[in-house]
Amino acid sequence: MEHFCLPFEQVVLLVFLAGLLVAVASCDVYRLPQFSRRDIRSAQRMIGFEFSKNYRDTMYRYLGSNLRGYDTMASFKLDYQVPPALYFDPRPDGFMMPVHKDEPAWNLSENAALPLNREALAFYPVSALAVLIRSRQITSESLTRLFLDRIQTYDPSLKAVITLLEDRALSQARQADAEIAEGRYRGPLHGIPYGVKDLMALPGYPTTWGAAPYQNQMLDHTASVIERLDSAGAVLLAKLTSGSLALGDVWFGGQTRNPWDTLLGASGSSAGSAAAVAAGLCAFAIGTETLGSIVAPSARCGVTGLRPTYGRVSRYGVMTLSWTMDKVGPICRDARDCALVLDAIRGEDGRDRTVEHAPFAFHAGRDPKSFRVGYLKSAFEKDTTRAGKNNLAALEAFRQMGVSLQEVSLPEGFPFSAFDIILRAESGAFFDDLIRSGKVDLLEEQHRGSRANSLRQSRFIPAPEYLLANRHRKALIEAMHALMKNFDVVLAPPAGSEQNLITNLTGHPALALPTGWDRRNLPSSITLLGNLYGEAAILELGWIYQKKTAFQDTPPPLFAVPARK
């Protein structure tokens, strides 16, 4: 029997080639993708390109490799607190952080008196409640019980509360009373009952994000903003409703109602926070904003809402919708209350790296003539809503206070229709597990404008387009800075311009103030825009306006406290 033998050199070569074939076959670039070249031809139309057949062929295996990489990432689980290794900076080129000492002048009255009907305290501002508690005319426990009773009475029709924290609240209130009795007064929020939007983590209680897939979610850490308010001695009453995953006013328990007309929604997504303050269910509340979620419900419910500068307040322990657009801020009765709360929750915590150390000092007695104020004249003139006349009257009120208004226009020549992909791409990344698991189908709304639909389509946003949108955003930041550096405050109506989109993209602060009521007895509102880290100016001017007009002092009739004879 003859044996066939190859020379040694050929054996080595064959072994080498066999190994090479195995290596090539295992390389992602050379493995056949699980889609066809025809799929590439169809898909490119969604991103506005028309590559030739030859180029599509050369891309084929690389696109398959990309897809396998995506699948590999999906198998590695991330904690929801992990942000991208990229941080948005709203500061324009050459920006100098304001420099002054943090020495506020609150001008709190020492003459606050108890009403004949104690329930009327539900509509007192924090500034007055603070004096009553500090002077021990009322206890924190009695005030907390008052608000808890009102929640039990009115929330079934309002749907503003997701989780009531009665035992925790009463424990905090008793602790506050004991400390104050011993002379250990922590400041103006000590003993004041409040609520938080249920995007904020608190151990031992559900953090539902307003959405059915998360209604039993329990997180083991405390949001920084709650920690700060605990340190200030405030009393957390309840976790308040958020529109499902921070969109609108619809959550898994229904729709949060407007206290001025319970047939209407409260707007969103900080719906519960705004509605609860307006209806006298808490003294103040904490909301979040990505694209109008503090200022919109504040305007709809007739309360005062502050969207702080991006990076002013830590978002640690708060659900992410957009890493580069989310902000946390207060919703209160008036601008001075917003300043009191902001002072307690602002500043670095070592856990949210976007937060800057920036000064803040509110001065209640500032001369209105000292403000440099612009206004969006064309936007006010275009505002044909029922509230338009009220906002024109607000402009006149500022003039009568001695404020000189200068006409200004917002930056133009930007691809405003494209900027929404920033929010949608980032939210799609944060909720990757929700989309891949199919639980996105369980969200409360499934229509074209729903959060569920937005999350699904986010998977079709190309990375280069997201980065290009952020390059245009950088140019918008520079243009907005060129406008705002000439003013302390710019006045704007809620509608009629791109100001809400622009300022949320650029990180500028905004304050929503009530300006009266329309023919249907629904609140109207004006917006005060400020410079980066310039919240003090918009709060000071807003407070001056509110002292002159007092729209914030009128409660919704359905929730008002009848006077005692």
Nearest by Cα to 342 from 98, 538, 131, 493: 538
- Residue 12's pLDDT is what? 47
- Residue 29's pLDDT is what? 52
Nearest by Cα to 233 from 202, 191, 182: 191
DSSP letter for 241, please: P
| 378, HSE (Cβ side, Cα atoms, 13 Å) | 6
In order of 130, 137, 403, 458, 562, the CA distances from 364 in angstroms are: 16, 24, 16, 45, 31
- Residue 344's pLDDT is what? 98
**Pairing status of strand 373-375 against strand 489-492:** parallel
Of 244, 269, 427, 497, the active-site residue reads: 269
In order of 104, 115, 122, 126, 427, the CA distances from 112 in angstroms are: 20, 9, 14, 11, 46
Domain 118-415+446-553: what homologous superfamily? Answer: Amidase signature (AS) domain (3.90.1300.10)
- The token pair at 212 is 């059915």
Write b or e for each residue in 106-125: b if 16 or more Cβ atoms lie within 10 A of its Cβ, otherwise e. bebeeebeeeeeebbbbbbb
In order of 27, 200, 202, 203, 234, the CA distances from 221 in angstroms are: 42, 10, 6, 6, 19
- The token pair at 544 is 């001056």
Known catalytic residue: 142? no
Give residue 240's Cα distance to chain centre.
14
DSSP letter for 560, please: P
- Residue 31's pLDDT is what? 66
Domain ranges of the chain: 8-74, 118-415+446-553
Of 159, 197, 239, 327, the active-site residue reads: 197
Cα 289 from Cα 292, distance rounded (Å): 6
Number of H helices, E strands in the chain: 18, 15
DSSP letter for 262, please: E
Do residues 362 and 343 touch, judged by C-beta distance below 8 A?
Answer: yes
Known catalytic residue: 269? yes
- The token pair at 22 is 């195995």
Write b or e for each residue in 229-246: b if 16 or more Cβ atoms lie within 10 A of its Cβ, otherwise e. beebbbbbbbbbbbbbbb
Known catalytic residue: 197? yes
One pLDDT digit (tens) per residue for the chain, 565 residues: 445 555 655 544 545 545 544 454 455 555 678 889 999 898 888 888 889 999 889 888 888 888 888 889 889 999 989 999 999 999 999 999 988 777 899 999 888 889 999 999 999 999 999 999 999 999 999 999 999 999 999 999 999 999 999 999 999 999 999 999 999 999 999 999 999 999 999 999 999 999 999 999 999 999 999 999 999 999 999 999 999 999 999 999 999 999 999 999 999 999 999 999 999 999 999 999 999 999 999 999 999 999 999 999 999 999 999 999 999 999 999 999 999 999 999 999 999 999 999 999 999 999 999 999 999 999 998 877 777 899 999 999 999 999 999 999 999 999 999 999 999 999 999 999 999 999 999 999 999 999 999 999 999 999 999 999 999 999 999 999 999 999 999 999 988 889 999 999 999 999 999 999 999 999 999 999 999 999 999 999 999 999 999 999 999 999 998 754 3
- Residue 515's pLDDT is what? 97
Of 293, 450, 454, 524, the active-site residue reads: 293
Cα 537 from Cα 409, distance rounded (Å): 20
Do residues 87 and 354 touch, judged by C-beta distance below 8 A?
Answer: yes
